[in-house]
A and B are shown apart, each in its own frame.
Chain A
């Protein structure tokens, strides 16, 4: 009997069953493949870090000046038992300008995405690198190895050429190995390493700046880095612990995390749709249920009849989803495998099966929960034609005879919603989720493109343009602020010669040793010196910008972390002497993930090693936008890198803005499609349920178009209500979802909402999709026979 009921139900609602099947299939695919991906990444990261022998602490140097002192201190630490041992790897730093690549006969610049470039030899102990098959390799003279991510970004393949300008001559290398490099191969590390053989390295060393890498093995990495910070070694650029590498690689799981979120949303929608379908089916088949009860069937026995159908759909969807998830998981894992050495690079079928079983159990449990409604249907209900004998209950809704102006179809639509609020709430929730989902990337994108974001990167949205990479090949990398100022002066003259009377300001970056007067721990803190007396674009959340020689400002994170307040004094190690400075202000920006200091423009830091300069701001008379100016100046001065403030922000956040921008329309289209499917399904269910009423309206003379309009208006009202409800909910999601995400980068930012775009244009697109789906579904009204009045309860 179960099979016959199943067969009949499957044929009766083909459309509804298909949509449910589709949702279950997709949910299983997303869930199984992304959970698999996360598990594989998790175990692979640990394995890869061990396999490559990444030490507990990597100390990245910016020069070799302190090498002897550091070696002596580290030896002392071994004796004290603070560390087990250490190892020094020689590395040379490369200027972006010195490197060119050649592929398919075309020579071009290397796209570094702002990474620091290093060259070294094949490491034999720590921070090892491997070839694509995960094995160690050797290099001949003239051969170079580089990470897979660098090669992919630059569309390079093995055999392509790498050109390195060393003084007056250019050394040519052939790319022979694509490496899997745990310490330098991940895009989020901000460091890229090229490997050459010993002879080539010696040649390169003659014309490049030597830095180094200390590999330290210590049981307590945190305590060791604290001690190291207190030593005042000015040539240390950065320390990277093993934990930090783990975090860096965990970014590979973001996409999988997003897919899990989509899978969960799909399951939620499938559950909503299921509830809707079940409630409708039970209400529609009350007579059959009542009669089954009248002949003595128990509630559970009747429930089984209904659950069999959903079990069949869910099983079919889960099995198909499981089947599809296998190649999808393999594809996702292949992406990870290209950058990591993995112990086991195959997807876990067991995990996928568990995910599919989870979907089946969850959906069936929900079905079981929803079929509780069956117990409300009694034999008497069936016999009395749906009338349970209850005569008096509160009636909700509007009164037509009291509406003097409201068109009848508008009345019918709004009265339906008000009379059955619970039924329409399911739809409203579904639409609200969709509207909020679309505002999230939109608001993220608008925030990233906002002036506030630009200012958080210490940039001025109102300046004319920005320029980077101003060093000439003969100047090499600027190592102090005097060299930077000289470069700026030279460029200013070059601009003047071309008729541009421009003022240029740089932002020099130093790592200074700073501590509070209470003699607390010393910090090696990134400190920015804005070489402009009137940098009004640099904002302060409290206090004011440091102007006098003894003034300094700190980011909110540092102030909070150290318990400092404006007016407190700190000591800063400058030119080997401790200088006492007063804190004049605090700010919140994204420089060094919100952990930085701003030094006044008047103090002389010319004896300090300048780690880098952030960018150079150009102010001149122009009617063009920053983007237009950047394009124009790039043509006039092709040796330098001209950018708008927005482009600089984008290059710093890894092109997320571009990805989001590209994904926004396909995402909206996909969401629109899902919503249209749901609407189609819901509307079909409405029509099935209301066949009797539709037939009656037709019999008393309502036109087909009027009945259709009633259905369309009702759905439009539901959508409009959802749109209004989703506005405050979206603002809440900005506050509790987007703000914390942006805060990860180190600063609070006001989420930018383009109300017209977020609450009108994009929702209007979804609204049109929903109305189209309703129009499509309501075509079936034409075929409702007047004899269907017999279906009127």
Chain B
């Protein structure tokens, strides 16, 4: 299977008031295409920084990030933007959307921008895809609503639709269920699992063991380095979640979680 991401000796250092803070220290990581990987770790361990650095939202201080054969750390700002727009999808803990736009418009926005110059026909395809995604994720009925007129779960599903609209190669999710209740969390994870089953690579950061137990592999990061990883195998509906959660819990306890 082809590697989606190959990260070698990735370092990230912040300098604040002339004091260096090494947030990531020589992180090495590989993610296969179609794999769903969770990153766990205590607060301040560098989970979010890892996600931001490998998705090109932040610049690495050292090391390399190979994304489907392309080196991201050498890319210029605009190249990185284009890559994020066309080949990566993002889901954040807070459901960030433009308040002036409807749910539907927020979803089609990145696709319209990616297709700038290819108007009418291209836009019709985008709308068709958006409608299909909204239907799949069960938010068709709120498509014309404003951002503040839908529930948190619906909004997060809309964010997933937006992340999928440009048919990316990978989805980065930062605490995708962090701001949701139990039921909404389950619905969102169902969707992410379904997308993953369709072949999408997903790298997510979470504190939630239930969320991590739905992933194929869990990485534990501490003090900016990946201390250990735990392979759970691909999850499917027939599996007993409680067993996966127990196994993961045992592993985490061993790590001092």
Contacts of A408 in B (CB 8 A): 109, 112-113, 116
Please classify how large the interface on chain A is, using the bins under 10, 10 to 19, 20 to 34, 35 or more.
35 or more
Contact of A700 among B77, B85, B130 (CB under 8 A): B85
User: Taking the nearest CB of chain A, how far is it from the CB of B78, in angstroms?
Assistant: 5
Q: Is A400 an interface residue (CB 8 A)?
A: yes
Contacts of A638 in B (CB 8 A): none
CA distance A702 to B110 in the complex (A): 8
Whether the pair B90, A700 counts as a contact (CB closer than 8 A) is yes
Contacts of B52 in A (CB 8 A): 786-787
Whether the pair A702, B120 counts as a contact (CB closer than 8 A) is no
Among A763-793, those with CB < 8 Å from B are: 786-787, 789-790, 792-793
Contacts of B101 in A (CB 8 A): 397, 400, 415
Contacts of B163 in A (CB 8 A): 700
Per-residue CB contact flags for chain A residues 103-136 toward chain B (1 = under 8 Å, else 0) read 0000000000000000000000000000000000
Q: Is B148 an interface residue (CB 8 A)?
A: yes
Per-residue CB contact flags for chain A residues 371-413 toward chain B (1 = under 8 Å, else 0) read 0000000000000000100111101010111011101100010
Whether the pair A698, B81 counts as a contact (CB closer than 8 A) is yes
Whether the pair B113, A704 counts as a contact (CB closer than 8 A) is no
Contact of B162 among A391, A416, A700 (CB under 8 A): A700
Contacts of B105 in A (CB 8 A): 399-401
| Main DSSP-derived SS at the B contact region | helix
Q: Is B149 an interface residue (CB 8 A)?
A: yes
Given contacts A415-B100, A703-B82, contact A405 B120 (CB under 8 A): yes
Contacts of A440 in B (CB 8 A): none
User: How many chain-B residues does the 8 Å CB contact rule pick out?
Assistant: 43
Q: Is B104 an interface residue (CB 8 A)?
A: yes
User: Taking the nearest CB of chain B, how far is it from the CB of A545, in angstroms?
Assistant: 66
Given contacts A404-B120, A405-B119, A702-B113, contact A789 B82 (CB under 8 A): no
Contacts of B146 in A (CB 8 A): 393, 395
> Interface-forming stretch among B15-23, B91-99, B216-224?
B91-99
User: Taking the nearest CB of chain B, how far is it from the CB of A188, in angstroms?
Assistant: 58
Nearest A residue to B49 via CB reads A787
CA distance A399 to B123 in the complex (A): 13
Contact of A789 among B94, B110, B112, B113 (CB under 8 A): B94
Per-residue CB contact flags for chain A residues 733-747 toward chain B (1 = under 8 Å, else 0) read 000000000000000
Q: Is A696 an interface residue (CB 8 A)?
A: yes
Q: Is B209 an interface residue (CB 8 A)?
A: no
Contact of A400 among B78, B81, B88, B108 (CB under 8 A): B108
Given contacts A395-B146, A400-B108, A703-B81, contact A786 B58 (CB under 8 A): yes
Among A409-447, those with CB < 8 Å from B are: 412, 415-416, 419-420
Q: Is B127 an interface residue (CB 8 A)?
A: yes
Q: Is A692 an interface residue (CB 8 A)?
A: yes
CA distance A416 to B101 in the complex (A): 9
Contacts of A789 in B (CB 8 A): 92, 94, 96
Whether the pair A699, B84 counts as a contact (CB closer than 8 A) is yes
Whether the pair B94, A706 counts as a contact (CB closer than 8 A) is no
Q: Is B61 an interface residue (CB 8 A)?
A: no
Contacts of A697 in B (CB 8 A): 98
Nearest A residue to B148 via CB reads A387
Closest 8 CB pairs of A and B: A701-B85, A701-B84, A400-B105, A696-B96, A419-B100, A703-B81, A395-B146, A786-B57
- List 23 A-B pairs, Cβ < 8 Å: A392-B149, A395-B102, A397-B100, A397-B101, A399-B104, A400-B104, A400-B108, A400-B112, A401-B105, A404-B120, A407-B116, A408-B109, A412-B98, A416-B100, A693-B98, A696-B98, A698-B81, A700-B110, A701-B83, A701-B85, A702-B81, A703-B77, A704-B78
18 new A-B contacts at CB < 8 Å, known A405-B120, A693-B98? A390-B148, A397-B100, A397-B101, A399-B102, A399-B104, A401-B123, A407-B116, A696-B98, A697-B98, A700-B85, A700-B90, A701-B82, A701-B85, A701-B88, A702-B85, A703-B82, A705-B78, A787-B52
